[in-house]
Amino acid sequence: MTTPGTSAPDTVGTPASTGPLGTAPGVDTSPAGIDRAEGVGGSAPESPRGSHASFLSRVPRSVWPLLAFLVLFGIGGIIRPNLITIDSLIGTATFAIILAIASFGQTIAVIQAGIDLSVPNTIGFSALAFLTLVGPLGPVGAFVAALAAGAVIGFFNGVVISKLGLTPIVTTIAMNGLLFGVILLAFNFSELTVTPDFVIAITSAKISVFGISMAAVLPLGLALMVVLQLVLSFTGWGRSLFVVGSAAETARLAGLPVDRIRITGYMLSGLLAAFAGIVIVGYYQQASATMGASYLLASVAAVVVGGASIFGGRGSVVGTVGGALVLGQVSTLVTVLNLGANIQQLIYGAIILIVISLYGRRRAA
Amino acid sequence: MTDSLLVATDLVKTYGPVKAVRGVTFHCNPGEVLALVGENGAGKSTVAKMLAGAVAPTSGTITVDGEPLASGSVRQSRLSGVRCAFQELALVPDWTVAENLSLPDGAPLKGFSQKKAVAAASALLESLHLSRIDPRAAVSTLSLADRQLVEIARALAGRPKLLILDEASSALTPPGVEWLFARIRELTAEGGSVIYVSHRLGEIAQIADRGTVLRDGLVAGEFVRGDWTDDELISLMAGRAAERFFPDPPERTTDAVALSVTDLRSEGLRGIDLELGAGEILGIGGLQGHGQAELLRALFGAAPAVADSWTVAGRSISRTNPVRSVRLGLGYVPEDRKREGLALEMSVGENLLAPWFKAYQLGGRPRLAQERGWIDGILKALSVRTRGPNELAGSLSGGNQQKLVFGRWMDRSRRVVLLHDPTRGIDVRAKQELYRAIVDLAKEGVGILWFSTEVEELVHVCHRVVVLYQGAVADELIGDRLTADAVVGAAVGATGSLNLTTEGVAS
């Protein structure tokens, strides 16, 4: 990927889509020809097609958004060859990792067949609370307090959803509205200017990894991704979350503490959104009442593009990072092509619809 | 052959590399009931779906009255007088009975009148002796048996020339089956034909004029009324000599009480006294909707319930919930394996382990590796046909899925296991494997409370049977009194006498 050149999309794209077919007997044409051969190869031996299908189904879902990102990255390179640089990649990845951090909580909500539409104002609330409390509590105290606030917000979401049985979409959007009111009433915006050093140190400060200079938030986000993925894949809590998301009644009748799993899931979602708020403050060094607004659509888009099922029971934070990279690259392309920020929202919406319809078909097949 | 109503010739259906049906030929004469039997995966349902037009055959032809059936279109099929009632209910749960009944014929441009639909539905249900089903009730509020009756009623509504019943009796109780047979006889008397797909050999003996046995997507044999025995048919289906069908319950070795409850009250239960011994297999009989489902749910804590006294494994409790019940040593196999029993998108191994996840312990693959011995033991003991613990539960056949729901409670020091009709709609071999597992569990001293809609199971495999009627215990049958007639008699509220009429359904 470090080599500039317009052939990037071909070399990246073709092995994935036609790789196993390369072994099909008697096919010696161009890559396009291989694709066509598959289409008409009804009389071909069954085994290559069978292994082709099973190979595709064995590929982890989180690989697809990463491939999509590389294709988009290559397309960017075709339009502007000077975009294929390490700096450009790091720039997009940094934008994407911040979106990913804001979407990790959303991932956990979606896996348990819910959704957390209070992410935007949880981000805003925690960021503003953090800046307000740095004075009285000191940076670490304010940091802990802001995270706790996020967890409390999630706790209320979870209790209302699991104990009162309200739908997640209504509950969390009401919470989002409620938080916006609190933000406008509680904070004195004119006093919020200073960002504590330690937050800058973990976000916007430049550090060098393997000789490549990048903002600290990038390794931080990737480390968080690894930790969360381990929790989701390899702990009883993580697997229980998937059982609840996949079939809540099954989980209940198997004797799993469904309410507790739901509530802790939303608490973690709120806590991660709060962490995202602090990260955003640290990276952009500004905060406002509407600072989270753009993450409403973007966080859902990143999760869905990342391969999570909007019906629950499927998803990964690795996939979400991939989804965020795709959206980040889209955003880069929008900027390069000078299309304006409004087009970006339109494209995000279109991507959500396309991806949901694609995955929906795979689910039915 | 020319006077046959339906002729299916060399039907083949492949799904990618999988050959579901590999060449099936049969015909059905007017006024005849033709049984299609076979194990799960033999291709029965695929054949039924091809006849109904829900699935297009890969090759082969189907003619109805000499006219080729337009394949792959349910609508065309319906126009040629073919109607189908499926095991997997094809009703819209949130709609009312009336709305569901008007669904197939609802011409979308003609408009829909709630009033007319209810009137039409009442008339239809009345004519089919089902007037106790309220056309205004949402389908989701009905019992599974009633939903199945509605599904059958919908298929009967068009006075079909050919009616296909695909495991349509799987949730029905004996009087419900009698009701179905009465409708079938009405239909055949008018010259209509019925294709009857079922696992229940007793029903086939009663209703089928002829039968075709499928095995592995091919016709394994044919039979005519009165010319076969259960054992012959089973060996034909399984392709091997049949073992004895029902195992005996094991000898009781202890008088210890695993579960006891007096005056248990819950929604649908009017004060139930029950005592279940350790190692005892206690059957629960009765018509669907008389409190059996409620009893199991109440005992497991899945529905709120109170009792005067309530002990589990000697410990006195005042109420319970599923989390507590599992901790107390209970296990529960619920009614609907797909919705309540399994997480279909998760692996076989994780479905087995689902009750045993602890938030702070390992999960996922490391846990599967830790538990590999237990998982392999369960899969082997129940002969679960799967590619391994990492296969998705959703890709297993119904019988194997049911084994997973049951298997998660094996070798986990259970004191009591509650079973809700675990053998519903699964094939003969899977049934026998489950019977054996249930008996083995009882041998280890686990108390088994087993609700079954199949009377023969209760009579043969249980030590004792309690029959429920309108939410209370109608009779307790043991020893010589434990006969099929007595169970059915008590189920319809006529203790001691056999009364198999449609009033049983209407009660």
Q: Which sequence spans correspond to the domains of chain A? A: 61-364
**Domain containing residue B289:** 257-341+413-506
- Residue of B17, B345, B354 lying closest to A254 (CB–CB): B354
The mean per-residue pLDDT over the stretch B460-474 comes to: 91
Per the prediction, chain B carries an average pLDDT of 85
Same domain, B149 and B54: yes
Residue B351 domain flag: no
Interface test mutation site (partner B, options A228, A249, A253, A256, max chain B beta carbons within 10 A): A253
Residue B135 domain flag: yes
Residues 6 or more apart from A211 whose CB is under 8 A from it? none
Same domain, B165 and B313: no
Residue B388 domain flag: no
Q: Residue A114 corresponds to which tokens in the numbers above?
A: 């819910």
pLDDT at B81 over 60: yes
CA nearest B246: which of B127, B423, B80?
B423
Q: How confident is the model at residue B486 (pLDDT cuts 50, 70, 90)?
A: confident
Same domain, B68 and B131: yes
CA nearest A275: which of A203, A197, A201?
A203
- Which pLDDT score is estimated for A52? 54
- Which pLDDT score is estimated for B146? 86
Compute the distance between CA of residue A297 and CA of residue B319 in angstroms, rounded to an integer.
45
- Which pLDDT score is estimated for B14? 82
Lowest mean pLDDT among A94-103, A133-142, B218-227, B498-507: B498-507
pLDDT at B320 over 90: yes
Compute the distance between CA of residue A144 and CA of residue A149 in angstroms, rounded to an integer.
9
- Which pLDDT score is estimated for B242? 44
pLDDT at B501 over 70: no
Per the prediction, chain A carries an average pLDDT of 81
pLDDT at B113 over 80: no
- Which pLDDT score is estimated for B185? 92
Residues 329-358 (B) with a CB less than 8 A from some CB of A: 332, 334, 339-346, 350, 353-355, 357-358
Tens digit of pLDDT for each residue in B345-364? 899 999 999 999 988 888 88
Q: Between B225 and B321, where is the model more confident?
A: B321
Tens digit of pLDDT for each residue in A140-159? 999 999 999 999 999 999 99
- Residue of A46, A236, A249 lying closest to B361 (CB–CB): A236
Q: What percent of chain B has pLDDT over 70?
A: 91
CA nearest B184: which of B164, B202, B211, B170?
B164
Q: How confident is the model at residue B493 (pLDDT cuts 50, 70, 90)?
A: low
Compute the distance between CA of residue A262 and CA of residue A241 in angstroms, rounded to an integer.
7
Q: What's the alpha-carbon Rg for chain B, to the nearest Å?
A: 23
A128-134: which pairs have CB atoms within 8 A and are 24 or more residues apart? A128/A183, A128/A186, A128/A187, A128/A189, A128/A192, A128/A287, A128/A289, A129/A187, A130/A199, A130/A277, A130/A278, A130/A281, A131/A192, A131/A194, A131/A195, A131/A281, A131/A287, A132/A187, A132/A188, A132/A191, A132/A192, A134/A194, A134/A196
Q: How confident is the model at residue B18 (pLDDT cuts 50, 70, 90)?
A: low
- In Å, the largest CA–CA distance within chain A is 76
Domain A61-364 CATH (choose: 1.10.3470, 1.20.120, 3.10.450, 2.40.10): 1.10.3470
DSSP string, B397-423: -HHHHHHHHHHTTTTS--SEEEEE-TT
Same domain, B89 and B220: yes
- Which pLDDT score is estimated for B240? 54
Same domain, B222 and B272: no
- Which pLDDT score is estimated for B422? 92
pLDDT under 70: residue ranges of chain A: 1-58, 190-193, 359-365
Plot region of A216 (φ>0 → left; ψ -120 to 50 → alpha; else → beta) = alpha
- Residue of B17, B300, B343 lying closest to A246 (CB–CB): B343
Tens digit of pLDDT for each residue in B136-148? 888 888 887 888 8
Lowest mean pLDDT among A268-282, B242-256, B358-372: B242-256
Residue B365 domain flag: no
CA nearest A112: which of A274, A229, A270, A238?
A238
**Strand runs (DSSP E) across B125-209, as ranges?**
162-166, 193-197
Tens digit of pLDDT for each residue in A180-222? 999 999 887 766 667 888 888 888 888 888 888 889 999 999 9
Interface predicted TM-score (ipTM) over 0.90:
no
pLDDT at B130 over 60: yes
Q: Residue A287 corresponds to which tokens in the numbers above?
A: 């905060």
| CATH at B270 | 3.40.50.300
CA distances from B400 to B40, B382, B411, B425 (A): 10, 9, 18, 11
Residue B377 domain flag: no
Lowest mean pLDDT among A9-18, A152-161, B70-79, B281-290: A9-18
Q: Give contacts of B339 with chain A, Cβ < 8 Å.
A: 247, 249-250
Residue B381 domain flag: no
- Which pLDDT score is estimated for A230? 95
Across the A/B interface, how many CB contacts are shorter than 8 Å? 106
Enter the pTM of the model: 0.73
Compute the distance between CA of residue B306 and CA of residue B263 in angstroms, rounded to an integer.
8
Same domain, B180 and B285: no
pLDDT at B446 over 50: yes
Tell me whether residues A236 and B300 touch, CB distance under 8 A. no
pLDDT at B94 over 60: yes
Same domain, B275 and B230: no
Domain count within chain B: 2
- Which pLDDT score is estimated for A277? 95
Q: Residue A143 corresponds to which tokens in the numbers above?
A: 């940091």
Tens digit of pLDDT for each residue in B147-161? 888 888 888 887 888
Interface test mutation site (partner B, options A110, A235, A239, A359, max chain B beta carbons within 10 A): A239
Same domain, B320 and B198: no
